[in-house]
Amino acid sequence: MTVTTSRFIAHDQDRGIVQFSMQDGAKEFACAISTSAMDDLERGPRARPAEREAQFTRLRDRIEACVERKYQATEFEGTPPGIVLRSIDFRG
């Protein structure tokens, strides 16, 4: 089954992540991407905290494609299990 877009949740500045969710049918699962990974994807200056949601929206297609790959490979982390993306996930 293909995962689909769900929702942006929040930018957690203290943890340096953007939290969002994806759907597998009716099942919603938690995801996060490091702000460093987003900045690396854009290859520009670091985004300001107030710009993180807009940055996430610009990068959403690439982020969701990476979530799809990790989901299919069952690369879950944490409790409850979710998908966490880092810069290394976008290399290669």
Residue 92 scores a pLDDT above 80: no
Tokens 């769900």 belong to: 6
The pTM (predicted TM-score) of the whole model is 0.93
Tokens 């982390």 belong to: 77
Which tops the pLDDT comparison, 39 or 1? Answer: 39
Using CA atoms, how far apart are residues 17 and 35, in angstroms rounded to an integer?
5
Contact 31, 83 (CB under 8 A): yes
Segment 20-56, tens digit of pLDDT:
999 999 999 999 999 999 999 999 889 999 999 999 9
For the residues 76-87, what does the mean pLDDT come to? Answer: 94
H or E stretch at 29: strand 27-34
Which domains can be identified in the chain, with CATH numbers? Answer: 3-87 (3.30.160.140)
